[in-house]
Structure 1
């Protein structure tokens, strides 16, 4: 299991890529490092961050890299409501969930409600073996709540 903000270096990341059958290209190592340091980012965020370091990269190349990293278990992809696109993080393999502010879009990790996968059992699995539960808690963060209270013409407050 990986956790964002880890102290892994480029050598560790290159080793992780090779262990999963991927070449350790500059783009893959750089993308993995960026997502590791900035969880819940979109492909556009990664492209903007890497374009100076890797001037020959393109938005499509970044999408391809992130798809490869996700497919090989190095990234988790999450599609959250009202987001600019899929979000990526290096915290994988633990079935954690997310809490999302409906005003600013900030996303934070929430550990599994029960502590084992899946955290919730459906009322009817329709004959499927359930192994993952994706839960997104949606609310309003304290910063947005305070701004809404101070500025009545500001963002619409949702229930």
Structure 2
């Protein structure tokens, strides 16, 4: 099977997830969800480049539309690390945060230290009902620390 191709067995659970969210099941949507499951923290451009391996005629606009519809349906989470394009992941429904290396751009999940959402409480909620808190810890990963990458944060 060519790289980037989803077998029918792999696609069936993805098709069910898409269908259960109320979205129409299409080959591009299945491909995008499969890509994000195998490569979390991907930018739209990364998803586009990977999707073109199996869907040569797919457009970047289609990818952006799919990511927007997946985000709206709660299938995908979008987050915006500093100095980086928006990244997308399939890990939704919890209140995890991210570690982001300012040297190489590596992004890793980190669980909330307190537990349930929101795991942080603002000093003044201004009457809002808070559902979640988004935190990105910026620093240097182990590899960049040992390779002598300059700190840019």
TM-score where L is the length of structure 2? 0.91
Matched residues in 1 for 2:82 and 2:152: separation?
Answer: 15
User: 1:124 maps to which residue?
Assistant: 124
User: 2:151 maps to which residue?
Assistant: 157
Distance change in 2, residues 1:158/1:55 (3 Å)? closer
SS of the residue 1:9 aligns to: helix
Residue 73 of structure 1: how far off its partner (Å): 0.7
Long gaps (5+) in structure 2? 1-8
Residue 157 of structure 1: how far off its partner (Å): 2.3
User: 1:106 maps to which residue?
Assistant: 106
User: 1:138 maps to which residue?
Assistant: 138
Q: RMSD across aligned C-alpha pairs, in angstroms?
A: 1.3
* Number of residue pairs matched by the alignment: 145
Residue 158 of structure 1: how far off its partner (Å): 4.4
Matched residues in 1 for 2:127 and 2:86: separation?
Answer: 29
User: 1:5 maps to which residue?
Assistant: none
User: 1:14 maps to which residue?
Assistant: 15
Long gaps (5+) in structure 1? 1-7, 149-154
Residue 54 of structure 1: how far off its partner (Å): 0.4
Map Cα deviations across residues 46-97 of structure 1 (whole Å, 9 max, x no partner): 11001121011011111111111111011010011011x1100000000100
Matched residues in 2 for 1:32 and 1:57: separation?
Answer: 15
User: 1:96 maps to which residue?
Assistant: 96
